[in-house]
Amino acid sequence: MEEKFIPLSVPNIKGNEIKYVTEALEAEWVSTGGAMINRFEQDIAEYVHAGGAAACQSGTAGIHMALRYLGVGAGDAVIVPALTFIAAVNPVRYEGAEPVFMDCDDSLCMDPVKLAEFFSAECEKKPDGAVYHTRTSKKIKAIVVVHIFGNMADMESITDIAAEYGVPLVEDATEALGTCYTEGRYKGRFAGTIGNIGVYSFNGNKIITTGGGGMVVSNDREALERIRYFSTQAKDDAANFIHNDIGYNYRMTNIQAAMGVAQLERLEEFIGIKKRNYLRYKAGLEGINGVELLGFRPDIRTNYWFYSVYLQNKTSKERQALIDGLAQRGIQSRPIWGLIPDQKPYAGSIEYRLEVCRKYYERVVNIPCSSNLSEADVDRVLGALKELLG
């Protein structure tokens, strides 16, 4: 085949990345200190209007430190989505706690109705003021909400529920940098800045990338200070090597940050391209029966990170045939994640009425969405989809 391969989601590195990384190298600040780290933290905090930001090695490390800061530990439970990437859940286990798997609604994000139902039907408040899962006696220590594919979870409802039960909220906004409310109570607020602590990722497939990297944001300066402390080996006295807690080697390097500064300069442009391509896919798919490009909440500006094709009447075997057919035509696609409670390490975990996530788990295919994607590329993917589904 002569036609070029169209990958699912790859980096777009055509701005000031080489310039800034060269500056970092010339300054010989290559490790976990240097001006670029502070600059990247400031730039992100400013962009999302957060009180502050702490750069780290990955989104996973950011979520881990957020849970650690909140005191999650053995005997605790953390409410997490069943339909997500596993990195949103593993940190719960790193700290010896147990996940409680929650269903999604049609936004693919956590269903607030079931979340409220779970608290009222299966939990109780004890004299210590905390909320416990009645059957297992585990304390509900936090909720991790994920803004799936750049959509926004229903944060008005979810923050109300979290406040009612006094449970802190961590936002896994690793896929949703740039997504913000345009209406309602949180108008102008960005994904990641509405709960207690928010986390972004700069992995290679995310909307902007530092190769690998993450950022924790919060309006709680004490939380950020603590998380920065955890990320740098919990040094209380650097000169004398005094460590009063268990820390991690989770700080971002200056080289990664230099790349991040350049990538962030182009974020709005990337969102513009992704929006254009999303609308082109949407119009192109309208003619195909039983196929739908999933939408985003109407009251937000999404970052359009990932595109999800929903196959109404297909079996998972037919979905695989579609993925294989696209691959034969040089187009990468993939099924949505396997549900986390179905993964081996999570067998037998606590879950609550998982229904909607099973429907989407079987029927969603993600199609190419890189910000390098031209309109001609989109048309080629559309042509292949029509050929295979029409």
Ligand X SMILES: *Cc1c(COP(=O)(O)O)cnc(C)c1O
The reply to whether 214 sits near ligand X by the rule CB under 6 A is yes
> In 3D, which of 94, 327, 72, 57 has the Cα closest to residue 199?
57
For residues 136 to 165, the per-residue mask of contacts with ligand X, x marking binding by CB under 6 A and - elsewhere, is: ----------x-------------------
Find how far residue 276's CA is from the centre of its chain: 22
Cα–Cα distance, 101 to 81 (Å, whole number): 5
The reply to whether 60 sits near ligand X by the rule CB under 6 A is yes
| Region label for 184, one of left (φ > 0), alpha (ψ between -120 and 50) or beta (otherwise) | left
The reply to whether 53 sits near ligand X by the rule CB under 6 A is no
CB of 208 to ligand X, least distance (A): 12
Contact status, residue 373 vs residue 270, Cβ threshold 8 Å: no
Residues from 82 through 101 that contact ligand X (CB under 6 A)? 84-85, 87-88
The reply to whether 201 sits near ligand X by the rule CB under 6 A is yes
The reply to whether 209 sits near ligand X by the rule CB under 6 A is no
Contact status, residue 290 vs residue 314, Cβ threshold 8 Å: yes
Nearest to ligand X of 193, 291 (CB atom) = 193
> In 3D, which of 141, 148, 145 has the Cα closest to residue 156?
145
The reply to whether 366 sits near ligand X by the rule CB under 6 A is no
> In 3D, which of 263, 285, 223 has the Cα closest to residue 68?
223
**Do the strands 180-181 and 300-301 form a parallel or antiparallel pair, or are they unpaired?**
antiparallel
The reply to whether 58 sits near ligand X by the rule CB under 6 A is yes
CB of 204 to ligand X, least distance (A): 9
For residues 164 to 193, the per-residue mask of contacts with ligand X, x marking binding by CB under 6 A and - elsewhere, is: --------x-xx------------------
CB of 383 to ligand X, least distance (A): 29
The footprint of ligand X (CB under 6 A) covers: 58-60, 84-85, 87-88, 146, 172, 174-175, 201, 203, 214
